Structure 1
Amino acid sequence: MVMVSSRLLFFLFLIFVLVYQATTQPSFIYYFCSDNTGKYTSKSKYKANLDHVLASISSNTGTDNGFGTDSHGQEPDKAYGIGLCRGDVKADVCRSCLNDSRTVLTQLCPNQMEAIGWYDNCSLRFSNRSMFGVVESAPNSFMWNPRNVSDVKGYGVVLKNLLSGMISDAASGVSLKFATRTSVAPDKSKLYVLAQCTPDLSEQDCRDCLNLIYAQIPLFGLGQAGGRAYTPNCNFRFETYPFFDLTSVATPSPPSQPVSPESPPPIKGRIILIYPISMKP
């Protein structure tokens, strides 16, 4: 009888631990599970390969640039993964964020062979196809702060000038394609802006990716006190409060005249999009 009670208590304890872990994991800002590349089973070769890749990325992406890629297995069961941490976060924070991503993304997308999830500090992506060095525009998400600003036009000019000036800074990076800037808006509020690409992109591909976001600012960011844009290869965020390490702020001032990078026409429709967007006009 004592043995039965002990087993029961142990079983209940395991349930408690699993429930606690599930409820304490932070939620993604946005995530996407793809049904286009197939599904896998819990005992498949792909599942074993995927577990290997995600464990490798979440434990080893404490590299200097917070970026890690890995692949494992043989086709057609080969798994690929990409982990990216925000350029200013420390190695231990990076590893913790990717470890959370690994747990949550595989819970939210338990059978899909391809998925992606974004946190403030990192993003994680996996697939059964190679993604390394390939610029893609979908899935993507554009979000905004519901608070409006007083000088919509002036605020928009400053915001677009900041991003247009940061595109070259981020794209020209080698091991880290990351740029931050601060500026004072016309209403005297302080603007904090960040742009980043995955380091596996070429300089031109990073430019194309950020130019896509640049073209969407009138849709998701004009007149708002904050906004975010996420694609698989690049991201952009602005706020009226500091959200990154201020020691990472670039010293050059933004250009006095608006820069007009080559970019596609504005997107029409929903703010959160899951279909490809043309990177070229």
Structure 2
Amino acid sequence: MPLSLVNSGIYNNLTYKYVGTIEASVNAKGDSLQVSLSQSFQRFKMSLLLLFLMIVPSVLCSDYRWSSCDNPSTYAEGSKYSTNLNQVLNDLSFNAPKSLGFNTSFRGTYPNEVYGLLQCMGYISPAKCSDCSRQAINSSQEYCPNNMGVRVWMEQCFLHYDNNSFISTLDATPIVLSSYDNVTGNIENFKATTSSLLSFLSDTACTSANKLFAVGSATYSTSNQVYGLVQCWRDLSINDCKSCLDEATQALEEYYTQQGAQVLSGSCTVRYEVYPFFEALPQGMAD
């Protein structure tokens, strides 16, 4: 099993515990975070705790979640592909903040065509969407330099580019990030409340009025709440969005004993926490 920082991430300054066959990284703190990858035809249950004594400082950026260097082909700086990619990235970072946090772009002809997609979380402002897009682009170049196909999940946005068309194609394979902190109190009540909340949010998101996005909270004990977010990338149909969210919430079910978890996929994300991790919806992004 290869070990590298190619598929790695820092999640709220927590250590990664990895379940699957891709790579993981940790920071210097003693807290832990569980990570797992589910695949369509098989599920890996073997666990490996990777501890690194030194971490590249930029990895400690709290906005970075995960990256995947999907296309092993590389391009040369100054090549036609490099030029097309830079144009696509400029298009995405310029247009997405002005287009309710979403944009796709295409440049070039075979074999140098580039397809790109940028999706900001539905609760952030255009200014924060612009900031996140720049961070995602920087992260793509840092973790997957010169790779033709890259996906980057940030706290507040998602970036994907490739030389093969993926726009409007459902990719629901889930990567699960989970806190190591266990739920205290009535666990069964927490499980039922979290499940109901995410199901409600998924149904709410799958309407044209909500632009495939929803956030909310629910009370699971006298003084405690659980907070949830669901979001599909807006190149999906409503039916594909529902399929993606259903698979994501199903993947989260075994983690409902933990205080927080998030599914990252190529077409959607679902997250719950015991603290408010999203902001009030800004007017500019909610219209």
Question: Is the Cα contact below 8 Å between 1:65 and 1:175 reproduced in 2?
Answer: no
In the alignment, the residues of structure 1 paired with residue 137 and residue 179 of structure 2 have an alpha-carbon distance, to the nearest angstrom, of 28
More helix by share: 1
Instruction: Tell me if 1:55 matches 2:55.
Output: no
In the alignment, the residues of structure 2 paired with residue 246 and residue 161 of structure 1 have an alpha-carbon distance, to the nearest angstrom, of 21
Change (3 A) 1:65 1:42: same
Report the CA distance between 1:176 and its aligned residue: 2.1
Alignment of 1:117-132 (within 5 A): 117-132=152-167
In the alignment, the residues of structure 2 paired with residue 243 and residue 182 of structure 1 have an alpha-carbon distance, to the nearest angstrom, of 11
Change (3 A) 1:164 1:99: same
Identity over aligned residues, as a percent? 27
Question: Is the Cα contact below 8 Å between 2:195 and 2:253 reproduced in 1?
Answer: no
Residue aligning to 1:245: 279
Residue aligning to 1:145: 179
Alignment of 1:1-281 (within 5 A): 23=58, 26=61, 28-36=64-72, 38-138=73-173, 140-150=174-184, 151-173=186-208, 176-186=211-221, 188-219=223-254, 221-247=255-281
SS of 2:89's partner is helix
2:277 alignment partner AA: F
Residue aligning to 2:21: none
Deviations 1:195-221 (A, max 9, x none): 0001111111000000001211223x2
User: What are the ranges of 5 or more consecutive residues in structure 1 without an aligned counterpart?
Assistant: 1-21, 249-281
Report the CA distance between 1:63 and its aligned residue: 2.3
More strand by share: 2
Question: Is the Cα contact below 8 Å between 1:25 and 1:104 reproduced in 2?
Answer: no
Report the CA distance between 1:124 and its aligned residue: 0.7
In the alignment, the residues of structure 1 paired with residue 150 and residue 99 of structure 2 have an alpha-carbon distance, to the nearest angstrom, of 25
In the alignment, the residues of structure 1 paired with residue 58 and residue 265 of structure 2 have an alpha-carbon distance, to the nearest angstrom, of 27
Change (3 A) 1:77 1:107: same
The total of aligned residue pairs comes to: 224
Question: Is the Cα contact below 8 Å between 2:260 and 2:273 reproduced in 1?
Answer: yes
Question: Is the Cα contact below 8 Å between 1:118 and 1:124 reproduced in 2?
Answer: yes
SS of 2:263's partner is strand
Which is greater in Rg? 1
Change (3 A) 1:56 1:25: farther
2:263 alignment partner AA: A
Question: Is the Cα contact below 8 Å between 2:178 and 2:262 reproduced in 1?
Answer: yes
Question: Is the Cα contact below 8 Å between 2:176 and 2:262 reproduced in 1?
Answer: yes
Report the CA distance between 1:111 and its aligned residue: 2.0
Report the CA distance between 1:175 and its aligned residue: 7.4
CA-based RMSD: 2.0
